[in-house]
A and B are shown apart, each in its own frame.
Chain A
Amino acid sequence: MLKAENITVSFGRREVLHDVSFAAKPGALTAIVGPNGSGKTTLLKAMIGEVAHGGTVRLNDVDIARAKPWELAAMRGVLPQATPLAFPFTVAEVVRLGLMNGTSGGKTQLVPAALARVGLGGYAARYYQELSGGEQQRVQLARVLTQVWEPTQDGAPRWLFLDEPVSALDIGHQLLVMQIARDFADAGGGVVAVMHDLNLTAMYADEVALISDGRVLAQGASEAVFTDDLLSKAYHCRVQVNTTPRSGTFLLPHVAQAGAA
């Protein structure tokens, strides 16, 4: 269980998150959506201890403010939006960094397995710095996967925190990465992902938290959150939610003419 309560974050004098509470269950993919600058990435960063915040965050009943980095690393992996690298590591060497925390320790066979999982088999000896942005992002995902390879450990769920995991990817790889997150959740792990693409979110997420202006506008099953009214209110434009009869998932075409609310 991930429980964030009364999270407040300020940058300088400007408060960007106002008393936000958020929860995510293991075995589910929980997406955080909202317009640019709404505070969704800040909320994620507060929950992984990356920005100073008021309130408490408990992950598997551990107060993350008191946990040691290696204790947290054994429980959860974090995929940042982009990771520039200072030195000429090969792809395999970057992924191997995920084995450092000791829980996956020394299992070098995870490296090619993780690379194959993200569709980068055969890339092991390439230089990370020479890859495209989307490829780099998948290398980082492979690194995070090696860190928390088993979605549960001794009955306790492990967690993936993904910050816009598909933002640099083509549609094929978007589906691949979302499916990896889906599988992780289906196997008992917890996934929290900041998402921009509402269609992908609708297709893969169990739960959605809709953030707007530093507040949670709605949180719940995606069918309950993805309504014309809520989305239009959050994104300040007219949005229409449709369902396709074939798959049951719903699509959100950009129907609105600008300003015609």
Chain B
Amino acid sequence: MFKVTIDGIEVEIPEGSTILEAARKIGPEVAPPTMCYYSSLETSGGYCRTCLVEVTKGSEKDPRPMPKLVPACRTQAMDGMVVTNELSARVKEARAGVTEFLLFNHPLDCPVCDQAGECHLQDLSYEHGKYKTRTDFERRTFEKIDIGDKISLHMNRCILCYRCVKVADQLTDNRVHGVLNRGDHAEISTYIKEAIDNDFSGNMIDVCPVGALTDRTFRFKSRVWFTKPMDAHRDCEKCSGKVVLWYKGDDVLRVTGRKDTWGEVEEFICNTCRFDKKKTSDWTIEGVRDISRHSVISANKYKKLVKPNEFTLNDIKALPE
């Protein structure tokens, strides 16, 4: 076991863990934001640079600080390592810069985007972003590509985190989409516009940190904060069948996997559960999903709402003096 100190909080982690895993063990207060790292996807991380942290003491044996900021998701923690994250001005400045770069080509269409409200880039720019853009250049745009009737791809919003490509590589056989072209022209696409119809391909919707891949059956149906999430499950031979149903009134508008504190899906679900089972009778409802009250999804939802008893004027009694 290694001892690592992050923002002054000490934590014990097994050997070989990364700084990010150590930080997540402490809690969301010290964990750096991640846009591309996904714990259940192998080789993910290292692209977005939002998890940059400062290592002020390399290890017990070699206490020299690391000269540059290091990505927490790809750097192994050493015994006695001291890391500063939120407390470091350098990290904050770097993260603001990274956010600015991520937003460089990202369209400002949050009012139209279906991901708004559960978008990680929104959270990131809210915490670390600048109020205004500093560039005069036109944003990079792509021609719209149809990748099937279940998933819609908005390439303009993509930040190239590669999560969806990893999902296709690791969860499904015969992946049909990947990254085409290089550098500034890189884009997620299917080769020769082939439709995506693998059994687990729908998970790329959950995995996408922005609104680049969204549920086409949910397109413009409702904003996420108007819907009410309910935990539900069903017997599915392909997946665990544990999902969240997003209700509006009595209609199930959308089915997603269950996301944890880090916005990562606990168990991947299959496309049958996601797209074809949209009736309450298909599911066993477990109850209302617990949503952090800081999330916009919790707005206008009242868990312990009790209808007040009607009373007449005669019921009001004077206060005892």
Genuine A/B complex: no
Chain A interfacial positions (CB closer than 8 Å to B)? none
